[in-house]
Amino acid sequence: MSAPLIDPFQRAITYLRVSVTDRCDFRCVYCMSENMTFLPKKELLTLEELDRMCSTFVRMGVRKLRITGGEPLVRKGIMTFFQSMTRHLDSGALDELTLTTNGSQLEKYATDLYAAGVRRVNISLDTLDEARFAEVTRWGRLPQVLRGIDAAQAAGLRVKINTVALKGFNEDELFTLTEWCASRDMDLTFIEVMPMGDIGNESRIGQYWSLQDLRDQLRQRYTLTDLPERSGGPARYVRLEESGQKLGFITPLTHNFCESCNRVRLTCTGELYMCLGQEDMRDLRSPLRMSESDQPLEEAIRRAIAGKPKGHDFDYSRQQEGGKMSRHMSHTGG
């Protein structure tokens, strides 16, 4: 079982994103409906099962592990999982253990995360306006998140801000957000809104702001230089020459990133999604639980990777949510 994980299109799978819970303390309008029905806790993988699952992937060649949700830090006891993953960093089997979070719990956990070997966190933040923040998150409080960012930087964590580009909502904060991140030495990545799950009365067509338009607006003030670097994820980067700041763009609608995809996504119930934008998945919980040996799980993982598709079909070009997924982003992990 030492052969690397290679999909049918000769892409090496070295990056696993793990949703440890579908629950969240926010209800962002592009992610969830306000009155969500969450999975029964008994359906979730236990923390011990998450350890065994992730350790198997690491043994099979995964070098980067990103913990997502929902909001991962609301899961009870989650720091014991981070602490258990530290052994793979110490052994050199894992290059990086990272976290995507809404920042609400970072004031409490930032120091412990650093002690567990986490060095970078992505924090979702779409506005610096307190009233707008309450509107877009429905339940969120901006001061709590800002204190979390302060705590993360004080603990030594490198912070990257992820901002979903929302038409008619944060367009007028483009330069404010960019300059605020530059002043705090934080990278910033803009993301196009994706058609994932039922979000109630909200319209994603109305929310959709093309990042090509966003880049054109940036060029009115800055000189943008394309950078060749990749971080192991889907972002493409530019440098703003006037400040030296790095900006990322994740463009699943206007320019997909499938040709270099090196990642798969594991849900909190043990479903493996080979593509964020496809419904096809494989159940890994059953082979995990059927035997104390990891062999059935390893074989199931290889069968799943053999079915990884070439790419997704997200599309808003006809003013419809083409390629829409029925599951919420919080189920698969961002």
Residues 195-200: what's their mean pLDDT? 48
Confidence of residue 325 (pLDDT cuts 50, 70, 90): very low
Does 102 have pLDDT greater than 80?
yes
CA distances from 279 to 15, 40, 312, 323 (A): 19, 21, 10, 10
* Pair 53, 85: CB distance under 8 Å: no
Does 320 have pLDDT greater than 50?
no
Give the HSE-up count for residue 134: Cα atoms under 13 Å, Cβ half-sphere.
4
- Residues 93, 62: Cα–Cα separation, whole Å: 8
DSSP codes, 33-96: -SS--PPPGGGSPPHHHHHHHHHHHHHTT--EEEEESS-GGGSTTHHHHHHHHHHHHHHTS-SE
Ligand-binding site membership of 28 (annotated): yes
Confidence of residue 47 (pLDDT cuts 50, 70, 90): very high
pLDDT of residue 310: 76
Ligand-binding site membership of 124 (annotated): yes
Ligand-binding site membership of 24 (annotated): yes
Q: Given CA atoms 108, 186, 182, 127 in this order, what sign does their dihedral have?
A: negative
Confidence of residue 37 (pLDDT cuts 50, 70, 90): confident
> Residue 325 gets which letter from DSSP?
B
Ligand-binding site membership of 100 (annotated): yes
pLDDT tens for each residue of 253-280 = 655 556 778 899 999 999 999 987 677 8
Nearest to 78 by CA among 43, 40, 38, 105: 105
DSSP codes, 197-261: S--TT--HHHHB--HHHHHHHHHTTS-EEEE----SSS-EEEEETTTTEEEEEE-TTTS--GGG-
Q: What is the enclosing helix (H) or strand (E) of 15?
A: strand 15-19
Burial class (CB in 10 A: 0-12, 13-18, 19+), 84: middle
> Residue 141 gets which letter from DSSP?
-
Query: Using CA atoms in the order 148, 150, 151, 154, what is the torsion angle rounded to 10 degrees?
Result: 160
Q: Phi/psi of residue 61, each to 5°?
A: 115, 0
- Which residues on neighbouring strands pair with residue 123, listed in sequence order? 101, 161
Q: What is the enclosing helix (H) or strand (E) of 109?
A: helix 106-115
Ligand-binding site membership of 264 (annotated): yes
* Pair 334, 68: CB distance under 8 Å: yes
Percent of the chain with pLDDT over 90: 68
Which sequence spans correspond to the domains of the chain?
Answer: 15-160+260-332
Ligand-binding site membership of 265 (annotated): yes
Ligand-binding site membership of 261 (annotated): yes
Tokens of 248: 């990322």
Ligand-binding site membership of 66 (annotated): yes
Ligand-binding site membership of 31 (annotated): yes
Ligand-binding site membership of 258 (annotated): yes
pLDDT of residue 197: 47
Does 321 have pLDDT greater than 50?
no
Confidence of residue 100 (pLDDT cuts 50, 70, 90): very high
* Pair 55, 14: CB distance under 8 Å: no
Residues with Cβ within 8 Å of 203's Cβ and at least 6 positions away in sequence, in order, are: none
Nearest to 287 by CA among 276, 271, 268, 275: 271
Ligand-binding site membership of 30 (annotated): yes
Does 313 have pLDDT greater than 90?
no
Q: Which residue has the higher pLDDT, 115 or 197?
A: 115
CATH entry 3.40.309.10 includes domain 15-160+260-332: no
pLDDT of residue 26: 93
Tokens of 299: 């074989």
* Pair 129, 135: CB distance under 8 Å: no
